Amino acid sequence: MTIGFIGLGAMGHHMASNLLRSGQPVHVWNRNPAPVQALAAKGAKPAATAAECGIADVVFSMLADDHATRAVMVDGGVLDAMAPGSIHVNMATVSVAFAREMAALHMEKGIGYIAAPVLGRVDVAEAGKLNILAGGPDELVNRVQPLLDLLGQKTWRFGAVPEQANAIKLACNLTLACAIEAMGEGSALARAHGIPAADFIDLITTTLFAGSPVYKGYGGMIAQERYSPAGFKLSLGQKDVRLAVEAGQGKGLPLAFGDALQGVLKEAIDHGDADLDLAALGKNAARRGKIS
């Protein structure tokens, strides 16, 4: 089984590296050639174009959004290069509408399509401990499961329709952003009354939210005011919250927190925080009250 991997950003680079442990040929492509060269030194096969990865039996893609995925996979000729019966595993966080469109396009071409967005930051990807949210026919997921096992600690299956996995990923990221904003505002309130943010975070991660890696990890970043390097950029958080709101609208479901968060995220980006970690929502909350 030959493997292709397209999109070697902070997450994709480590994921492709883990796939090399399969012992199968792994063809890699990225717009910036530096990660390709780094993986070639580990045994990967560099592709001159994204379409060259389409010769593989299974093609993974980990691109930024709908636009980037369309530009590379469709306009870049990858799908045209893929043989009927091959499988595309899209691991990006994309909109539900785009996932539906991609599933139909793959079906027309006789190519299997699986949505498999992930939960986990860069260090988790490097360790091969991601949680993978899979949507697609069981037969297809079963075929690639040994490869998914190299990337994650567990594959969570959410239905035979790929877009269902994308809806779940957007629901997760909406919930994550809500939690971070809540910690940011709670920390700002504590600081406004003379209580260090670290004491507040220690309290809630020991009592109300004990055992939660989100509250522990992002709470620690807020308490330490450590917002870079970004493991999950605030601009990407804004994109995901927007897509979650749109997914709700598509089902006639208003998302009040999602609507509010869109304004909060725009506020943070307007202050120049787009490339900071999503934890910088804590910085934004404190800035409202001019808390230093």
Tell me the pTM.
0.96
E strand intervals along 201-260: none
Amino acid 75: pLDDT:
97
Whole-angstrom distance, CA of residue 114 vs CA of residue 111: 10
How far from each other are the two terminal CA atoms of the chain, in whole angstroms? 56
Of 42, 109, 154, 169, which residue is the catalytic one?
A: 169
> What is the C-alpha separation between 105 and 202, in angstroms, rounded?
49
> Which helix H or strand E contains 156, and what residues bound it?
strand 152-157
In this structure, what token pair is assigned to residue 202?
């220690």
Q: Using CA atoms, how far apart are residues 57 and 146, in angstroms rounded to an integer? A: 14
What was the pLDDT predicted at 292? 76
Measured between alpha carbons, how far is 235 from 112 in angstroms, rounded to an integer?
31
Question: What is the strand order of the sheet 118-119 is part of?
Answer: 118-119, 130-134, 152-157
The pLDDT assigned to 167 comes to: 98
> Side by side, which strands form the sheet with 3-6?
45-46, 26-29, 3-6, 58-61, 87-90, 112-115
Q: Which domains does the chain have, with CATH numbers?
A: 3-160 (3.40.50.720), 166-288 (1.10.1040.10)
Residue 226: is it exposed, middle or buried by C-beta count within 10 angstroms (0-12/13-18/19+)?
middle
Residue 42 annotated among the catalytic residues of the structure: no
pLDDT on residue 128 = 98
Which segments within 7-49 are labelled E, that is strand?
26-29, 45-46
pLDDT < 50 positions in the chain: none
